[in-house]
Amino acid sequence: MPHEARAVVALKKGAPVEVLPILVPDPGPGDVLVTVQACGVCHTDLHYRDGAIGDDFPYLLGHEAAGVVEAVGAGVTDLAPGDYVVLAWRAPCGQCRACRRGRPWYCFDSRNAGRPMTLLEGTELTPALGIGAFAEKTLVAAGQAVKVDPSARPEAAGLIGCGVMAGYGAAVHTGGVGSGDTVAVIGCGGVGNAAIAGASRAGARRVIAVDLDEGKLDAAERFGATDTVNSRGTDPVEAVRALTGGHGADVVIDAVGRPETYRQAFYMRDLAGTLVQVGVPDPDMRIELPLIDLFSRGGALKSSWYGDCLPSRDFPVLIDLFLSGKLDLERFISETVTLDDVEPAFAKMQRGEVLRSVVVV
C-alpha cells in the first residue's frame, strides 16, 4: 500500500521548487522505507533544480539525511524497523569491476531502490542521488541506509551523509593527509570546513583556509585552521607559499570547483604535491594549463568522489567522533527550516550566508 507524504519537488529546469504530495511505495526486495527526520540543504540539490546534473525532471530533491527505518523488503537482514540510519548515495554493489578489485568506494553500479516514487497522478520522480529525502518518507536500497548510534540527533547526523563526509574524506582518504603535512583548503563552506577538520584530525602541521569571506575564515579557525588567507585582496598562491617557507602546501583541496580556484590550487602545491578537487563544477566549465607545468610540477591531481568513502565503514566512525567531542557537527548547522523553506534556503546558500541549512521534517 503506497504511503502519501509531503516532499520537495523540482518540476522543471530552473523553476522554484514546490512542496507536493507524493506516493512512496512499500519496500520491494532489498529496499527499506525510511521516515526522514532531518535533511541538509546541499549545493547538489540546487544543481539538480537548475538542470546542471541531468534532465530527468521532475526531481525529488534532498539526499543528506538521517531518519528511522519504518519497513524493510524481502531479503533485508541487517536492518529492522526502528533502526536509526544515515542515508548514503553510494551503496556498493559488490559485483562491478571496482568492487571486485577491492575498491568499493569507486563502485560503478551503486544500488538504488527498485520501485519508483511518484506524484499522486502517477508521474515517476527521479530522486536526487538516488535518495530524495526532502520528504516525510523515502524509499532507498538497504545498502543506502547505514545504521549509526541513535544518540546523535538527526540534524547533525544527517550531515555525514554528504557534505561532511565529502570534505572530511577529501582530506583523509583522497588527499592522504598525514602527520606533519601542510594543507591548504580553498572555499570554507560546509565541505571545505569538513576538509579542514579532517586534515587537522589527521595530524597536519599547518592547515591554511582560503576564502573571500571573513566570516567563513573565522569559522574555519574553529574547525582547525591554523592560518587564514582572504583572497579578495590578496594573491592566495603567493600567500600560501609565504606561509609554507616559499614552497607551497603538500595537499591543496579545492572545495569550490571553479576554473580559477582549480588553477590556484594547482600552483599552490609544493613540487610533487597533491591537488584534490571536491567542489562540483558546472558541466560547461573548462580548465587550461601549460602541459610543461603539468609535467614539471609532478605530484597528483585527484577528484574526490564522496570523499572516497565507504559509508558502512566511515559513517559510524564519524558519528562516534561527533559523540566523543572530536568532530563538531553542530557547528556546521547555521539554521533549521521546514520543507516549505527549501527555496529560500537555496538563496541563502547561493549568497554564502550559511554553512548548512537543515530541514527538520
Query: What pTM was estimated for this model as a whole?
Result: 0.95
- What is the pLDDT, as a whole number, of residue 183? 98
Instruction: Assess whether pLDDT exceeds 90 at residue 282.
Output: no
Instruction: Assess whether pLDDT exceeds 90 at residue 41.
Output: yes
Tens digit of each residue's pLDDT (9 = 90 or more) over 203-261 = 999 999 999 999 999 999 999 999 999 999 899 999 999 999 999 999 999 999 999 99
Measure the CA–CA gap between 117 and 130, rounded to whole angstroms.
11
Q: How confident is the model at residue 200 (pLDDT cuts 50, 70, 90)?
A: very high
- What is the pLDDT, as a whole number, of residue 293? 97
Cross-strand bridge partners of residue 210: 186, 229
Each residue of 64-79: b (16+ CB within 10 Å) or e? Answer: bbbbbbbbbbeebeeb
Tens digit of each residue's pLDDT (9 = 90 or more) over 183-197 = 999 999 999 999 999
Burial status of residue 35 (CB atoms within 10 A of its CB: 0-12, 13-18, 19 or more): middle
pLDDT averaged over every residue in the chain: 97
Measure the CA–CA gap between 166 and 189, rounded to whole angstroms.
12
Distance between start and end Cα atoms, the chain: 22
Looking only at the bridges linking them, the beta strands covering 126-127 and 59-60 are: parallel
Instruction: Assess whether pLDDT exceeds 90 at residue 352.
Output: no
Query: By percentage, how much of the chain surpasses pLDDT 90?
Result: 97
Give yes or no for a contact between 327 and 318, defined as CB atoms under 8 angstroms apart: yes
Give yes or no for a contact between 188 and 177, defined as CB atoms under 8 angstroms apart: no
CA 196 to chain centre: 14
